[in-house]
Chain A
Amino acid sequence: MSDYIKDNLNKDGIDRRGFLKCMAWVGTGTLCVLKGGVLKSYALSDVMQHKVGDFKGDLSFVQISDSHIGFNKAANPDVTATLREAIAKVNALPTPPSFVLHTGDLTHLSKPSEFDTLAESLKSLKTERIFYVPGEHDVLDDNGAMFRERFGQGAMGDGWHSFDRNGIHFVGLVNVMNLKAGGLGSLGTEQLEWLQKDVSGLKSSTPIVLFAHIPLWAVYPQWGWGTDDSEQALSYLKRFGSVTVLNGHIHQTMQKVEGNVTFHTACSTAFPQPQPGQADSPGPMKVPDDKLRQVLGITDVNFVRGNHSLAIVDSTLA
């Protein structure tokens, strides 16, 4: 069985076999390479053995997510330890990341001591800068005031921001505020207007990377795994040749390609959550102690100039 997409019938860069295989890799490590809008998936083990050189680019960065500092229940009684293991994993990468994205749920209960522990732990990350967006666990009770004060310097509104690196435009979005009864994640009118303006002056050839906590695609709305107004946000990005969307929240890797957009969710560094619909609720999932590190991890993203490709590598803490 091949480890790349053979039958690209729908011109979406993914075939059924590839999709199923991708799903089977959840928690074991996947490399997805986006080239000219076509996604190719490889088993991480193959990449590590043979092809890692192929994916070195002009820019590499790492996504970490869902540290949930303060969580101490059965699913992982020591989330600070696993965060430190994730940091060690990042520090051991052959190419040090230019920067790190944390896609939210830094803490479990938005407590000052939890933010302290997170900030202290991340000081040992070997990278120039860390960019953050909040998760719903970071904005409890104070609408995110403490998060923004400590991790959202220079951000707009509820904490959204954008920056450019190596010709790529990065946009951090906030979809965990002012949630409506019965609804999903929400970006809100003010942020959407800002986003539209933010990308309006960019050339269509500019690769775009959006990152936000809750998935910007309907992963499983029954569990709240989606964002009500994400379609509106993505409509502003239709003219761009390469759009990559990086999310957290669901504590497992998952990916999808739709037209010019590649969606990807990262593992948590704290605890796994069940696959959609495979449990009564999306709560923390207890796995045997010796299996925990296989379902936690980090995401490494490489950009190759010239062919506008982003190679996304998930690796576990095992």
Chain B
Amino acid sequence: MKKTRWILGVVLTALAAFTSIAVTRPGVAKAGDQPSSAEVKIDNFSFGPTTLTVAAGRTVTWKNNDDVPHTVVSDNKVFKSKALDTDDKFSYTFTKPGTYNYFCSVHPKMVAKIVVQ
């Protein structure tokens, strides 16, 4: 009984290892070029960087470092955060290539863009 369980364990571990290599291999090379998620900081009523370029499939996270709430809203409403209080974050995963202009709907002078390649 013990032996059967041991063999089953080995087989499952090997299967899992093989599967994970097979699945993750295409992504490994990309991960070397860029971190898996990118961050936009909100400081002093501005988004930084104002233009961020990422690969399709990437998740971008915004973090509000200001003492006042801001939002992250794309011009064509592809993504829209709730009001972000100090230290709050918002994330969106970009699947389609393109240029995504966005702004803060509370302080619309704050504009920036994400370029997805």
Contact = CB atoms under 8 A, between A and B. Distances in A.
A282 B45 contact: yes
Contact of B45 (A73, A75, A283): A283
B83 A140 contact: yes
Interface in A170-184: 179-184
B83 A224 contact: no
A252 B44 CA distance: 19
Size bracket of the A interface: 20 to 34
A181 B46 contact: no
Interface in A128-169: 136-137, 140-141
B83 A281 contact: no
Given A110-B83, A281-B44, A137 B69 contact: yes
Contacts of B68: 108, 137, 283-284
User: Which of B45, B85, B108, B111 neighbours the largest number of chain A CB atoms within 10 Å of its CB?
Assistant: B108
B69 A109 contact: yes
B108 A141 contact: no
Interface of B: 44-46, 66-69, 71, 75, 82-83, 85-86, 101-103, 105-109, 111
A232 interface: no
Interface of A: 71, 73-75, 108-110, 136-137, 140-141, 179-184, 222-224, 280-284
Given A109-B85, A281-B44, A283-B44, A184 B69 contact: no
A66 to B, nearest CB: 12
B109 A224 contact: yes
The 5 nearest A-B residue pairs measured at CB: A181-B103, A281-B44, A140-B83, A281-B45, A179-B108
B33 to A, nearest CB: 31
A182 B83 contact: no
